[in-house]
Amino acid sequence: MKVFTDGRHAVHHATELDGSQLIPSWETPRRVEFVEQALRDDHEFVAPGPVDRGVIASVHDAGYLDFLEHAHQRWVEAGEKGAVMANCWPTRTMNADHVPASIRGQVGRYSFAADCSVVEGTWEAAMASAAIAQSATDAVIDGEAVAFGLCRPPGHHASADQFGGYCYLNNAAIAAQQLLNAGSNRVTVLDVDYHHGNGTQDIFYNRSDVLYASIHADPTTDFPYYAGHASETGVGDGEGWNHNEPLGRGCGYAEWSAALERCLNRSGDAASGALVVSLGVDTFEDDPISHFTLTEANFVEMGARIAAADLPTVILLEGGYAVEALGTNVAAFLKGFAPS
């Protein structure tokens, strides 16, 4: 399998607010190192081509992209120290449409959580991650049955105009849009990360050309808390094209795989022409910030079951924070999807 990867991910390592403490993000550059080590012997590593900013602009707000590109430089010029991080957000009683002039105000408007900040290398790494997603998608458009994008930073929490959850540009949405641009009648984005991909849902919530199907922790107990309920099924043209499977903490593979079956059946009913998999392996039993109990063997089964959908497939890395096991679990999924 072709694996698209880019060393520029390492220029990004953000700070997050974990409880009441500022810590180096759980989303660390070491994640890619462990995955590359696990995949090196069995897969073909490929550098991504140049990024197509037009596709990115078709799923993200122009003002947001301008903010993200220049945020760190503006932060420094304003005399601020450390990473770009908000301390005020437009809540329900405020005017969320107002765009403040100050960088402090704008970072609150364009983010939704303090688990995610912007450092000097964030824009470069996010663009490289988007280029990985685009190149993996191009490979599938050009005839590969499947391609894997080793994306870092991940993307599924990034909405049209907000970053959070370690995500800045929505790689899965970019890939789905690229597949549509190439002629797919409909694309399914299947999100198997422990956390709901609120950003992907947001981008396609009023559209019928993308089915978003997600299996994730119940938002009544887990991040992102305000999205991912089963009642969220889309609006307008998108009504019925959003499918959420929230599951309780402690969920094992039997319950999880039943939810997967429902998602794949929904994709089959939708007659999708291509599949994008948001591959989070933070469903692993030893993940330090998640609470499902899947094992390495379960990832093999998961990959095989998704491959049985027999669709051109782009697989993109999302979460997974048991860092030393991350490569093993990703390799297990890819082995199940495409046995050597």
**Positions marked active-site:** 157
Rg (CA), the chain: 18
Q: What angle do CA 279, 116, 113 make, to 5 degrees?
A: 100
Residue 102 near residue 131, CB atoms below 8 Å? no
Q: How far apart are CA 79 and CA 61, in angstroms?
A: 27
- The vertex-213 CA angle with 52 and 267, nearest 5°, equals 95
Whether residue 194 contacts residue 283, with contact meaning beta carbons closer than 8 Å, is answered with yes
C-beta of residue 163 within 8 angstroms of C-beta of residue 111: yes
**At a CB cut-off of 8 Å and minimum separation 6, what does 5 contact?**
32, 36, 45, 46, 47, 48, 132, 150
Q: Where are the alpha helices (DSSP H) in the chain?
A: 30-39, 53-59, 62-77, 103-109, 122-141, 171-181, 198-204, 253-269, 296-307, 323-337
Q: Which one-letter amino acid corresponds to residue 234?
A: G
CA distance 59 to 123: 17
- The structure tokens 């409880």 sit at 19
| Burial class, 324, CB count within 10 angstroms (exposed 0-12 / middle 13-18 / buried 19+) | exposed
Residues 6+ apart with CB under 8 A from 126: 12, 68, 153, 168, 169
